[in-house]
Amino acid sequence: MDRALISDIDNTLIGDPAALDRLLRRLAGSEVHVCFGIATGRHLEITLEVLEEWGVPLPDVLVTAVGTEIYYGPHLQPDSGWSEQIARQWEPDKIREVLAEMSDLRLQAPKNQRSFKISYVISPDKSGCVRQVEKLLPKRGLFAKAVFSHGRFLDILPADAGKGAAIRYLAGRWHWPPEHILVAGDSGNDADMLQGGYRGVAVGNHSPELEWLRGKPRVFFAPGKYAAGICDGLDYYGFLNAEYRKPGGR
C-alpha cells in the first residue's frame, strides 16, 4: 500500500448511509492499493461496534482513544512501540489530582477512561476553563496536553500523543510520504492531523472549532457532508488516480 486514507468516524465517515456506501465502493474498486484507516476519539470496543453497525469493513489500521492507541487489522494487533513511546513522563494519577481542583470539570464515565486518556465533560458555558487547564498542567510540571472537541469534551493525553502524532508515527513506520496520506475530520480533536502537512479534508458539516484552519495549506474544506465530503476530497486531490505523484500538492 503506497498511500493511506485515514478518517475520523463520527460525523465524518458516518452520518449519511448513501454517501458512506459510495465511498466504500470507490475504495473497493480503486486501481491503487490504499490503506484504509480510522482515527477516532472512541475506544476500540465501541469503535468496532459502530463500524459493524454501519457496515464498514474492518480498517487496515485503527487509531483510537484520541490517538493514544494503534491497532492493525485483521487481528487487531496493538502497536506496543507506540504505547511505550507515549508512556514517557505520563502521570495520570497526578493529573486527576490536580484537575480535581477545577469545579467546572466533570470526569466522564469509567468506560471512557483509558490508560493514556483522561476524559472530562465541560458545560458549554464553561468552555473557557480549557485555557486554564492548558496553563495549569505545565505549571504543575505535568507532561500532558489538553484536546477540546464538540464544545464540551476535554481529553487529557500524553504530550506526545494525539491523532496527528499517531499518524506521524504511522507515516514513519510504514514509509508513507506526507503527500500520500489523506486525512478527514470534522471537530477539534481532528485539528492536529488536518494541519500535519498531509492532504487534509474538513467535511462540510464540520464544527466551528475547525474554521481557523480555513485557508491553511493542504486543508480542503469540502462542500459535501459526512462521507460525501471525503469523496470530494479524493476528487480534489486526485488521490485515487493511478498516476498520483504530487509531492507539492495543491
Task: Tell me which of 3.50.30.10, 1.10.10.60, 3.30.420.40, 3.40.50.1000 is the CATH number of domain 3-84+161-237.
Answer: 3.40.50.1000
State the Cα–Cα distance between residues 134 and 73, nearest whole angstrom.
35
CA distance 150 to 187: 6
Give this prediction's pTM: 0.92
pLDDT higher than threshold 60 for residue 248: no
Instruction: Give residue 96's pLDDT.
Output: 97
- pLDDT, tens digit, for every residue of 48-74? 999 999 999 999 999 999 999 999 989
Domain ranges in the chain are: 3-84+161-237, 89-158
Is the N-terminal amide bond of 17 cis, ω within 30° of 0?
A: no
If 0-12 CB within 10 Å is exposed, 13-18 middle and 19+ buried, where does residue 121 land?
middle
Name the residue with cell 476530497: 233
Q: Residue 197: which of 147, 247, 245 has the closest Cα?
A: 247
Q: What angle do CA 188, 192, 196 make, to 5 degrees?
A: 145
pLDDT of residue 245: 58
Q: Which fold has domain 89-158?
A: Hypothetical Protein Ta0175; Chain: A, domain 2 (3.90.1070)
Rounded distance between C-alpha atoms, residue 38 and residue 115, angstroms: 20
Rounded CA-CA distance 129/111 in Å is 24
Burial annotation 143-160 (CB, 10 A radius, 16+ → b, else e):
ebbbbbbeeebbbbbbbb
| % of the chain exceeding 70 in pLDDT | 97
